[in-house]
Amino acid sequence: MKKRAALLCAAALALAALTGCSGGEPERTAEEWTDLYVQAITNHGGEMVEYNPVISRFDPEDGTSALALESLGLAEEDMEAFGASVSVMNTQAYAIAAVRPVQGKTDAVREALQGYVDRQQSSFEFYLPDQYQIAQDARLETLEDGTVLLVMCQDGDAVFEAIRGELERA
């Protein structure tokens, strides 16, 4: 009787595992994540996106994208996909970044982006009080889908929620 109960439990667990694996949404490709990030940042980043176009690939030949990623502290090998709009001018605390970390690199991505926020706060603390406040209000979170989202801009909470909402609906 105990063997039969154990076999039934094992069968039920196997069936549950198989059922859990089927019927779910297919995983997005890196290109699909990139397109989604670029669209969400472009749609909700405001006028700053016009002056700081969204970058979505690492290009050592393009000085602007290389400088932006370097200033964010992001390493190419830590990211599966990303989209970022960043001011490289030292007069604005502005950055929006959505990053899909490589498996096991979420902490490295979060640490890099938190380091960027910390540097911006330090840079503006005694320089431009309005930009210091924007840096102080920066939001950095890991979303349910694994995206690491940084928003540091004017009306940052509203921008963060709009981008998160678009990513969750997609």
pLDDT tops 50 at residue 146: yes
Q: Domain limits of the chain?
A: 28-169
- CA torsion sign for 118, 123, 126, 129 is negative
pLDDT reading at 21 higher than 60: no
pTM: 0.83
pLDDT tens digits for range 58-116: 777 777 788 888 999 999 999 999 999 999 888 999 999 999 999 999 999 999 999 99
The encoded tokens of residue 89 equal 């001018």
